[in-house]
């Protein structure tokens, strides 16, 4: 039985467009040679890496979605390691989540009823009176003027 997989790999931007096409064809052939069926193969674009990998700072991100038997996992992983132009790759089992809409009947049963014997308003306990001085609001013009004075001093 075939399972859905995703393969994301990075190719350095120094690679020419012709060589990029050859590399992607090589990956597609690798998947198809191990009984995989490619659903989607797309270029995500050229992006800056979070950190240099093998002295490469930018790379082309390429995503391939495919269905294949579970035995394909190891074979494709080994084949990807042999393609020297690919600097990194990740091979994962794709899981499609389904969101089910609940019917009105199930919602009525699960609605929470208000708790009984709980006061609606709880008054805070008496605390010692602490008075804080109220500050007058400063206008934006005064604030801008003070800021300009401080910046002019430096």
- 38-60 pLDDT, tens digit per residue, is 999 999 989 999 999 988 999 99
Is the torsion defined by CA of 35, 40, 46, 48 positive or negative? negative
The pLDDT-based confidence of 97 (bands split at 50, 70, 90) is low
Q: Which of 51, 54, 42 is nearest to 9 (CA)?
A: 42
Tokens standing for 64?
A: 């391939």
Tokens standing for 22?
A: 């050859």
Q: Which of 78, 63, 1, 90 is nearest to 33 (CA)?
A: 78
Whether residue 91 contacts residue 5, with contact meaning beta carbons closer than 8 Å, is answered with yes
pTM score, two decimals? Answer: 0.58
Q: Which residues pair with 46 in a beta bridge?
A: 60
| pLDDT score, position 119 | 54
Q: Compute CA 41 distance to the chain's CA centroid, rounded to the nearest angstrom.
A: 19
The pLDDT-based confidence of 130 (bands split at 50, 70, 90) is low
Would you say how long the chain is, in residues?
Answer: 154
Class in CATH terms, 2-93: alpha beta
Apex CA 45: angle with CA 40 and CA 51, to 5°?
120
Tokens standing for 52?
A: 């240099």
| pLDDT score, position 21 | 92
More confident residue, 48 or 95: 48
Apex CA 118: angle with CA 115 and CA 120, to 5°?
100
| pLDDT score, position 131 | 65
Q: Which residues pair with 56 in a beta bridge?
A: 53
Average pLDDT over residues 143-150: 84
Average pLDDT over residues 11-24: 91
| pLDDT score, position 88 | 92
Does pLDDT of 103 surpass 60?
A: no
| pLDDT score, position 145 | 85
Farthest-apart Cα atoms in the chain, separation = 80
C-alpha–C-alpha distance, residues 109 and 90, integer Å: 44
C-alpha–C-alpha distance, residues 12 and 61, integer Å: 9
């Amino acid at each position: 039985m075939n399972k859905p997989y995703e393969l994301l790999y990075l190719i350095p931007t120094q690679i020419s467009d012709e060589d990029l096409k050859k590399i992607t064809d090589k990956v597609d052939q690798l998947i198809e040679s191990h009984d995989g069926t490619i659903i989607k193969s797309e270029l995500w674009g050229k992006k800056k890496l979070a950190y240099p990998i093998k002295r490469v700072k930018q790379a082309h991100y390429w995503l391939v979605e495919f269905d294949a038997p579970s035995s394909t996992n190891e074979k494709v992983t080994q084949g990807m390691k042999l393609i020297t132009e690919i600097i990194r790759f990740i091979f994962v089992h794709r899981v499609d989540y389904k969101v089910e809409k609940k019917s009105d009947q199930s919602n009525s049963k699960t609605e929470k009823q208000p708790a009984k014997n709980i006061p609606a308003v709880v008054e805070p306990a008496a605390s010692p009176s602490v008075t804080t001085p109220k500050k007058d609001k400063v206008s934006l013009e005064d604030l801008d003027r003070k800021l300009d004075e401080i910046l002019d001093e430096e």
